[in-house]
């Protein structure tokens, strides 16, 4: 798990919206808290994930199905203009398309059809789309630092552990992960 997300421009006092609260999304919450983000808004369709997100530092938790307006309108109203950055951790192209006039970082990709179409007009009016794998870090250079930071309690990965299984139950572990039971 990469908790640095060095390419994502986390700055003290910034606001973030995170779409998706599985391992990557929750890791993003931990990273942004550690980097000093002032407001972290999380969005997921499984509201049972909000308890953990709040414990990790999420300020606002939204289930789009419970809202009477599109999520992007709600976020603009909540933040008086929008978040500094939105992070798509699900692989949902609809979320990517709704990133208007801002910066969207694609972190999650669904298996299957994950094509994204963007018009030139969307780009020249201010939208930026970026993608990242391993947070923009090079594993060979960064794993030791991440391990040392974890050991020195700079962040809490234990909050991401939901099950502990013996190695011979690895298939069961993957089943739990694919079912979103983390």
Whole-angstrom distance, CA of residue 8 vs CA of residue 143: 18
What pLDDT, in 10s, does the model give residues 119-130? 777 777 777 777
**Does residue 135 carry a pLDDT above 80?**
no
**Does residue 168 carry a pLDDT above 90?**
yes
**Does residue 182 carry a pLDDT above 60?**
no
What mean pLDDT is predicted for residues 66-87?
A: 88
Answer for the pair 20, 4: CB distance below 8 angstroms, yes or no: no
What pLDDT, in 10s, does the model give residues 137-153? 666 777 787 788 888 98
Q: Which residues, other chains included, contact 162 with Cβ-Cβ below 8 Å and sequence gap of 6+?
A: 176, 181, 182
Q: Which CATH class is domain 6-136?
A: alpha beta
pLDDT of amino acid 1: 42
More confident residue, 26 or 182: 26
| Token couple for 142 | 């960064």
């Amino acid at each position: 798990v990469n908790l640095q997300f060095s390419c994502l421009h986390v700055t003290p006092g910034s606001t973030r919206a995170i779409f998706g609260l599985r391992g990557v999304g929750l890791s993003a919450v931990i990273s942004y808290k550690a980097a000093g983000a002032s407001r972290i808004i999380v969005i997921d369709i499984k509201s049972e994930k909000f308890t953990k997100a709040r414990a990790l530092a999420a300020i606002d938790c939204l289930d789009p199905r419970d809202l009477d307006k599109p999520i992007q309108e709600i976020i603009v109203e909540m933040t008086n203009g929008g978040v500094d950055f939105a992070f798509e951790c699900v692989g949902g192209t609809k979320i990517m398309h709704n990133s208007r006039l801002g910066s969207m970082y694609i972190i999650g990709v669904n298996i299957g059809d994950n094509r994204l179409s963007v018009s030139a007009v969307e780009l020249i009016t201010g939208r930026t789309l970026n993608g990242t794998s391993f947070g923009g870090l090079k594993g060979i250079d960064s794993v030791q630092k991440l391990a040392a930071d974890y050991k020195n309690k700079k962040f809490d990965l234990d909050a991401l552990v939901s099950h502990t299984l013996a190695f011979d139950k690895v298939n069961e572990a993957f089943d739990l992960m694919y079912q979103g039971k983390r």
